Amino acid sequence: MKIIIQKFGGTSLQNAEIRNKAADHVANAIKNGYSPVVVVSAMGRDGDPYATDTLLKTITSIHKEISLREKDMIMSCGEVISAVTMVQTLKQKNINAIALNGIQAGIITDENFGQAKIQKVIPEKLFDTLNKGLVPVVTGFQGISENGEITTFCRGGSDTTASILAAALEAKHIEIYSDVDGLATADPNKISGTSQIPNVNYIEAVEMADKGANIIHPHAVEIASQFNIPIMLFSTLSNNDPTMITNLKNERPVTVITSENKIIYTQIFPQEENIHATELSVFQILAEQNVSVDFIDITPELISFIVDDLNKDKLLQIVNENNYYFNIKKNFSKVSVVGSGMTGMPGVMSKIVKALTDRDITIYKCTDSYTTISCLVKSVDEKKAISALHEEFELGEKNV
């Protein structure tokens, strides 16, 4: 049995016409000799009737305080609706299918509501379903704890469901369907002249996803990498070639330019007699409050870092309650250059600085890893910075 996983995002399920196209991809997989396991997200996006955010707002608009347990209960409903609806769409194409929630699919998690971690998968029911000639349509984003509590993963968790099921079922590959053609050299909604990337390796894909390319969740790529399962990124609406994510070695220094906005740049000024105490307490408290930080820079005179705007309220509470001398600056963006071929290659940073300074873009901070160099710039300069770097590294259609 040649099992594959086909995951369809919310925009691939938002209306009957698009669901029919999604079902055609399932039919083609069967025609090509595969046994597909379908994973679905909640239908549509915020504002659509059954999208996760819409369901959540039906409660939070009335009751501001809702426990994490109850929040997971309602957030799990969108995928159930998608699964049942997708089963009916498949049956209209004479494909026998059955809807399974995360519990029935055997996904066991811890009890960290909203950010549950998968502990194991018990795949017997899925194998039994496949052996009966049925297509399992599994709800993404959710599982069950050992105590029988419904849990959900972090946003993008349906990708994680796809990868963990692929590992448990020893699938040949994973297909991720969305409303775009794979990965592009930059976000086509932000600059023109981008092109689809035919292939990337797991390391690049994790960095892209982590730095703002919201096509696939980084944890899903990490799982696939551990089991060496190829991932294909398709558009539901076209038959174009996908972007392939495998363990290939890339020689090109730069593959993609990504960005994240709504970044807050924070500066904390330690008092001279409490320098080390301040350094220690700042990051301990941030960790206890689950506030993720980046661009960390520590000197005797200044502690600086960035946080996502989503953590603004927590950050303000922390600095005020602890009587820190601080300065918080809003409206920043993080623009990143990603490519596994830059490791050990001189001149990449020089080209980044040249590209940005030639456009009069101020670089406030930089950070780097083996495969990524990120620069902090003003949000008003974000698109200009992406365009400048895209051009500097010759990532246009003729060069990829």
Q: Looking at this protein, which amino acid is placed at residue 79? A: E
To the nearest 10°, report the CA torsion of 334, 337, 338, 344.
-130
Please check whether the two domains, 3-179 and 256-399, share a CATH topology: no
Q: Please report where in the chains the tokens 């009737």 appear, as a residue.
A: 49
CATH number assigned to the domain covering 256-399: 3.30.2130.10
**Secondary structure letter of residue 381 according to DSSP:** G
Res 275: pLDDT: 67
Going from N- to C-terminal start, the domains of the chain cover 3-179, 256-399
Alpha helices in 32-114 (DSSP H): 52-60, 68-75, 77-92
Res 272: pLDDT: 66
263 token code pair = 């970044």
- What is the DSSP annotation of 141-163? SEEEETTS-EEE-STTHHHHHHH
**Secondary structure letter of residue 179 according to DSSP:** S
Res 397: pLDDT: 64
56 token code pair = 């959540």
Strand order in the sheet with 256-269: 294-298, 303-308, 256-269, 325-338, 372-378, 365-368
144 CB-contact burial (10 Å; exposed 0-12 / middle 13-18 / buried 19+): buried
Res 126: pLDDT: 98
Q: Are 72 and 103 spatial neighbours (Cβ–Cβ below 8 Å)?
A: no
CATH 3.10.350.10 fits 3-179, yes or no: no
Per-residue pLDDT of the chain (400 residues; tens, 9 = 90+): 999 999 999 989 999 999 999 999 999 999 999 999 999 999 987 778 888 888 888 887 787 788 999 999 999 999 999 999 999 999 999 999 999 999 999 999 999 998 899 999 999 999 999 999 999 999 999 999 999 999 998 877 899 999 999 999 999 999 999 988 888 999 988 999 999 999 999 999 988 888 877 788 889 999 999 999 999 999 999 888 999 999 988 778 899 999 999 999 999 988 766 667 777 788 899 998 888 899 999 888 889 999 999 889 889 999 888 888 899 999 999 999 999 888 778 889 999 999 999 999 999 999 988 899 999 999 999 999 999 999 999 998 655 4
Q: Looking at this protein, which amino acid is placed at residue 150? A: I
Query: How would you label 90-111 residue by residue, b for 16+ Cβ within 10 Å and e otherwise?
Result: beeeebebbbbbbbbbbbbbee
| pTM score | 0.87
Q: How many CB atoms lie within 10 A of CB 345?
A: 11
Res 349: pLDDT: 94
